[in-house]
């Protein structure tokens, strides 16, 4: 089943028969907080959006152009040579579709009738004809970048879902993916209308065996009329969005003289 174009998804109706489209980011939302996911999918009550990261978006686009230059030549990018990765950027007629936020690469998970999709940054191919999933990341910090912080579990799940999607589409996929992670330098004497970056290639061995179980859990959550529990924040404690909503509601009711006990 194919989905194309940008369409605002409808709210999910419990036990609906129609296929429900779910993005990689919505799976991540469920992993972070089932309640936030349930409110979003069933009632279109979404978390407040954050400001757009336009610098990161610009870096992503420039990375794509840079790797596309070597893709057209069928040659490895210098960062691949520097890290002794025997691969080249992968050429495919659907690459632009896979990169598009509202199409991406997708598959129908028949047991749950969920159409799962996600938009990739890049994909390489090694000498064993295995596809290597690649994600671009950008930041600005004084220390060297890594993927070891607790909150970066979302980065790892992102690559794992992409690996699963390509595998489900019949591609041979390497369990090793890579983050092309660039970091703006803090140690320079001036700005001079230029940011300088240090880019690091970080390998990550993905595990996709959790995904199908989560899809069943998502389906159960969607079909339930009971509000799910609040999720845990990545750094510990309850979901900050649910905590804010709870505290504001209690204070508002108190101001109105409504007893909530």
Q: In terms of pTM, does the model score above 0.75?
A: yes
Give domain 20-223's CATH number out of 3.90.320, 1.10.10, 1.10.8, 3.40.190: 3.90.320
41 closest CA partner among 132, 112, 139: 112
pLDDT value of position 49: 86
67 closest CA partner among 56, 82, 79, 55: 79
Rounded Cα distance between 80 and 84, Å, is: 6
For Cα atoms 235, 241, 243, give the angle at the middle one, nearest 5 degrees: 85
pLDDT value of position 12: 96
Q: Confirm if 81 and 70 have CB atoms less than 8 A apart.
A: no
CB atoms under 10 Å from CB of 74, counted, come to 9
Rounded Cα distance between 136 and 67, Å, is: 11
β-pair partners for 133: 123
pLDDT value of position 51: 83
Tens digit of each residue's pLDDT, the chain (261 residues): 343 434 456 899 999 999 999 999 999 999 999 999 999 999 999 999 888 888 899 999 999 999 999 999 999 999 999 999 999 999 999 999 999 988 999 999 999 999 999 999 999 999 999 999 999 999 999 999 999 998 899 999 999 999 999 999 999 999 999 999 999 999 889 999 999 999 999 999 999 999 999 999 999 999 999 999 998 876 678 999 999 999 999 999 888 888 766
Annotated domain spans of the chain: 20-223
State the SS3 of the chain. CCCCCCCCCCCCCCCCCCCEEEEHHHHHHHHHCHHHHHHHHHHCCCCCCCCCCHHHHHHHHHHHHHHHHHHHHCCCCHHHHHCCCCEEECCCCCHHHHHCCCCCEEEEECCCCEEEEECCCEEEEECCCCEEEEEEEEEECCCCCCCCCHHHHHHHHHHHHHHHHHHHCCCCECCEEEEEEEEECCCCCCCCCCCCEEEEEEEEECCCCCHHHHHHHHHHHHHCCCCCCCCECCCCCECHHHHHHHHHHHHHHHHCCCCCC
pLDDT value of position 8: 53
pLDDT value of position 45: 94
């Amino acid at each position: 089943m194919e989905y194309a174009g940008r369409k605002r998804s409808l709210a999910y109706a419990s036990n609906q028969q129609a296929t429900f489209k779910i993005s990689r980011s919505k799976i991540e939302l469920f992993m972070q907080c089932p309640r936030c996911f349930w409110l979003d999918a069933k009632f279109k009550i979404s978390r407040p959006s954050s400001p757009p990261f336009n610098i990161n978006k610009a870096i992503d686009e420039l990375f794509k152009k840079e790797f596309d230059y070597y893709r057209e030549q069928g040659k490895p990018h210098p960062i691949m040579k520097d890290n002794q990765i025997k691969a080249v950027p992968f050429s495919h007629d659907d690459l632009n579709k896979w990169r598009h936020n509202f199409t991406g690469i997708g598959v129908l998970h028949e047991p749950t009738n969920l159409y799962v999709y996600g938009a990739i940054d890049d994909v390489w191919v090694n000498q064993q004809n295995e596809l290597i999933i690649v994600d671009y990341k950008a930041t600005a910090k004084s220390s060297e970048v890594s993927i070891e912080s607790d909150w970066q579990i979302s980065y790892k799940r992102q690559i794992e879902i992409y690996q699963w999607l390509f595998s489900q589409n019949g591609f041979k996929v390497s369990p090793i993916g890579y983050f092309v992670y660039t970091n703006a330098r803090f140690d320079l004497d001036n700005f001079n209308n230029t940011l300088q970056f240090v880019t690091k290639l970080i390998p990550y061995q993905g595990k996709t065996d959790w995904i199908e179980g989560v899809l069943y859990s998502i389906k159960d959550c969607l079909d339930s009329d009971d509000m799910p529990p609040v999720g845990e924040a990545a750094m510990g404690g309850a979901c900050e969005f649910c905590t804010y909503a709870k505290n504001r509601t209690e204070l508002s009711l108190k101001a109105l003289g409504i007893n909530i006990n």
